[in-house]
Amino acid sequence: MVTDDRLYPLPSLRYLHLRFILQAETEARLPEFKGSMLRGAFGHALKKTVCAMGPEILCSKCMLKGQCAFTRLFETFIQGEPPRFLRGLDTAPRPIIFDPGATPPVLQTGDPLPFELKLLGSAVDFLPYVVFAVLQMAQSGLGAQRHPFTLTEVHCLQPSNTPDLPLEWATLYDARTQSLLFAPTPLELPSSPPFSIQHSKFIIQFLTPIRLKFDGRYSLDFNFRALVFKMLRRVLELVYFYEPNAEINWEFHDLLVAADNVHITRHDLHWADQQRYSNRQQTKMMMGGFIGELELEGNLQPFLDLISTAEILHIGKGTVFGLGKMRMVNSE
């Protein structure tokens, strides 16, 4: 019988949390939701920066793919046979997460365009390439009209020496010399939850569209156990593919059984569609998911590490664009 509240200790995952600020050089008209735009522009700039073989060589056939910053971040090929739990994946999950935040679709000259980017696991090793690619994508221009921007600031979340403030934003980049000021210390997941259990009711807020499939289809009808499984799978996929030395315990049945005792007492979700442009398919696509709130009641103590980790990693499909953002708050 398991008596520890930590029914399933999560494996460790390194990450860097970056904040970029671009400045518009002219008036710029951009999409309302900028995650897909940022991901596409960044990927194009990164490949242009690091590709040594040329566009005529497919990434899947390239002899350098195992060490290339682009394939490690964007074309994450699976090599070998993954554990049974992860079989069926065509590619590994991308170890990057854009968080575009909320900015107006029209920016005036001099207006800032802030966004955040997380690098997960071994992706932290490519930090210089990432910053340089953002610099290049800004200069090449964003949006359909390629509006030019300037990279003015880069900050990185770092451990603080202040007891009441465990993490703080540190200036990482000097725009004048276009250089990095220090080598940041990666943070580690699971992080300490920013809340403690004082009562048995909490609310999970889904802040950007979350695309989760249950029984092979996107659905708003699921229980807490199904949600826990999705969060746990997300964590274990990332650890398996991007922390090769991590020890993973694939036996998490006790945690799922405990999830059966947590009930969704209020289900306030609705489907929301967003449009994005796919460079690969040269067409506009709908990118929907559900947003809203769930109120939970039960013993949530065993799930605090998992939920606080999912807040950082997002869940579902499209996390690289910034989809699947969630947070848990007290319901009182």
Of 189, 215, 232, which marks where a domain is finished? Answer: 189
Residue carrying the six token digits 């990482």: 172
Q: Which residues of 236-250 are buried (b: 16+ CB within 10 A; e: fewer)?
A: bbbbbbbbeeeeeee
- Residue by residue, pLDDT tens for the chain (332 residues) are 333 457 899 999 999 999 999 999 999 999 988 999 999 999 999 999 888 887 777 877 888 777 788 888 887 777 667 677 776 666 789 999 999 998 999 999 999 999 999 999 999 999 999 999 999 999 999 999 999 999 999 999 999 888 778 899 999 999 999 999 999 999 999 876 666 666 678 999 999 999 988 888 888 889 999 999 999 999 999 999 999 889 999 999 999 999 999 999 999 999 887 765 555 555 566 678 899 999 999 999 899 999 999 999 999 999 999 999 999 988 76
Check whether residue 116 and residue 211 sit in a common domain.
no
Residues recorded for the chain = 332
Range of the domain at 235: 191-330
CB 308 within 8 A of CB 267: no
Global pTM? Answer: 0.91
What is the CATH classification number for the domain harbouring 240?
A: 3.30.70.1900
Answer whether residue 86 is part of any domain.
yes
Answer whether residue 68 is part of any domain.
yes
Give the pairing of strands 326-330 and 201-210: antiparallel
Check whether residue 182 and residue 204 sit in a common domain.
no
In angstroms, rounded to a whole number, what is the distance separating the alpha carbons of residues 81 and 94?
A: 18
Check whether residue 200 and residue 324 sit in a common domain.
yes
Of 146, 173, 189, which marks where a domain is finished? Answer: 189
Check whether residue 161 and residue 262 sit in a common domain.
no
Check whether residue 133 and residue 171 sit in a common domain.
yes
Residues 6+ away with beta carbon under 8 Å from 81:
87
Check whether residue 182 and residue 198 sit in a common domain.
no
Check whether residue 213 and residue 258 sit in a common domain.
yes
Check whether residue 87 and residue 221 sit in a common domain.
no
Amino acid (1-letter code) at residue 205: Q
Answer whether residue 317 is part of any domain.
yes
Check whether residue 84 and residue 220 sit in a common domain.
no
Answer whether residue 303 is part of any domain.
yes
Answer whether residue 162 is part of any domain.
yes
Answer whether residue 23 is part of any domain.
yes
Check whether residue 24 and residue 102 sit in a common domain.
yes
Closest of 316, 202, 176, 319 to residue 266, by C-alpha: 202
Check whether residue 163 and residue 298 sit in a common domain.
no
Overall number of domains in the chain = 2
